[in-house]
Amino acid sequence: MSTEPRVGCAVDVNGRITFDLAARPVEGEQLLLRLRPKKGRPEQTLHVLCLEPAGDGRSRAVLGPQPVLAEGRWDVYLLRGPEGERQRLRPGLRDLRALVDGRLRDWPSPLAVRIPYVTKDGHLAIRAWLRPAHAEADGIDVTDRSMTVTARLHGASLGTGAAVQLRLRGRDGAVRTLEPQVASDGRSLSFTVGCAELATATGTGSGVWNVFVLPEPGAPLIRVARLLDDVADRKEVFVYPPVRVGGTVVRPYYTVDNDLSVEVTQAD
């Protein structure tokens, strides 16, 4: 049996995470959060949390809204022993109910989202997003020739000349610009992507288009994504039907970072 302790956690509407460890705190033990570095790069960002007794032979550590976590995946460790040896933690219950309807609230700028999740190898980690502004995708309506996306801005509002841009990943210059329908509050918008046009713009072969909102001319682009609920890995869960146009298949999907993209592939 594994000796890795289990740690449960609960998140409140402000993003505060309370960790609950099923063991009495031992002098010198702390929780460590580490931003997972890219392969082969050294780790740079760490946060250490105090473990306090919580009665009933348990201990507790709190990650308040501050510090703001940089975007990425944060591994959670128990620091123990005189040398501060690290031990990974197995997940206990993750009470994320406060996150489920997060898209119904207005989020300030910068948008900071944290979702505790279980890694592929069965350990507790936190998925964090940190963006100056955010366009939260809601429903996507797929027909046999187009897809209509509704979204809502957080930390920015739409001005005159607002546009939606689809930018072809990995190739210079290919941009499709669409005019969105903007609600009177300047926050909600919808836009329709014509699948045949997108297929033509992709040219031969396959391509992936990333979706952005340009709130007004000259402003920074805002990535369209779906971040405001409890689902840390959306790609295999929010699945949309493919649209066939001629010899190509066009399909909206969420990336491994929960960003919205549209994939164009050649049909077999």
Partner 1 sequence: MKISFLLHNAYGIGGTITTTFNLAQALAERHEVEIVSVLRHREHPSFALDPRVTLRPLVDLRQEKEHELHLRPARVFPRAEYRYGQYSELTDRRIGECLAGTDADVVIGTRPGLNVHLALEAPRHVARIGQEHLTLDNHSPRLRGALRRAYRRLDVLTTVTEADAGTYRRKMRLPGVRVQALPNSVPDPALPAADGSAKVVVAAGRLVPVKRYDLLVEAFAVVAAEHPDWQLRIYGTGREHARLQRLIAERGLYNNVFLMGAAAPMEAEWVKGSIGATASDFEPFGMTIVEAMRCGLPVVSTDCPYGPGEIIEDGVDGRLVPVGDRAALGAALLELVRDDERRRRSGRAALQNARRFAPGPVVEQAEELLAEAVSARRAGRQVARGRARMHQVLAGQGFAARDTALTAADAVRRAIRRGQR
Q: Which residues would be at the binding site for partner 1 (CB under 8 A)? A: 1-2, 6, 8, 90, 92-97, 100-101, 122, 139-142, 230, 236-241
**Nearer to partner 1 by C-beta: 176 or 234?**
234
Report d(CA 45, CA 71) in Å as an integer. Answer: 11
User: Which tokens is 81 given?
Assistant: 């022993």
Report d(CA 10, CA 228) in Å as an integer. Answer: 16
**Nearer to partner 1 by C-beta: 6 or 187?**
6
How near is the Cβ of 221 to partner 1 at its closest, in Å?
25
| Cβ atoms 118, 91 nearer than 8 A | yes
**Nearer to partner 1 by C-beta: 23 or 201?**
23
**Nearer to partner 1 by C-beta: 214 or 232?**
232
Report d(CA 238, CA 268) in Å as an integer. Answer: 24
How near is the Cβ of 241 to partner 1 at its closest, in Å?
4
Strands 222-225 and 134-142: parallel
**Nearer to partner 1 by C-beta: 141 or 179?**
141
Q: How far is CA 247 from the centre of its chain?
A: 32
How near is the Cβ of 229 to partner 1 at its closest, in Å?
10
**Nearer to partner 1 by C-beta: 68 or 100?**
100
| Cβ atoms 180, 246 nearer than 8 A | no
How near is the Cβ of 196 to partner 1 at its closest, in Å?
20
Report d(CA 251, CA 142) in Å as an integer. Answer: 9
Q: Which of 26, 114, 120, 110 is nearest to 62 (CA)?
A: 114
How near is the Cβ of 109 to partner 1 at its closest, in Å?
26
How near is the Cβ of 66 to partner 1 at its closest, in Å?
26
**Nearer to partner 1 by C-beta: 236 or 268?**
236
Report d(CA 168, CA 208) in Å as an integer. Answer: 6
**Nearer to partner 1 by C-beta: 98 or 130?**
98
The terminus-to-terminus CA distance of the chain in angstroms comes to 47
How near is the Cβ of 95 to partner 1 at its closest, in Å?
5
How far apart, in Å, are the Cα atoms of 238 and each of 71, 103, 224? 22, 16, 15
How near is the Cβ of 139 to partner 1 at its closest, in Å?
4
Report d(CA 136, CA 152) in Å as an integer. Answer: 5
Strands 175-178 and 124-131: unpaired
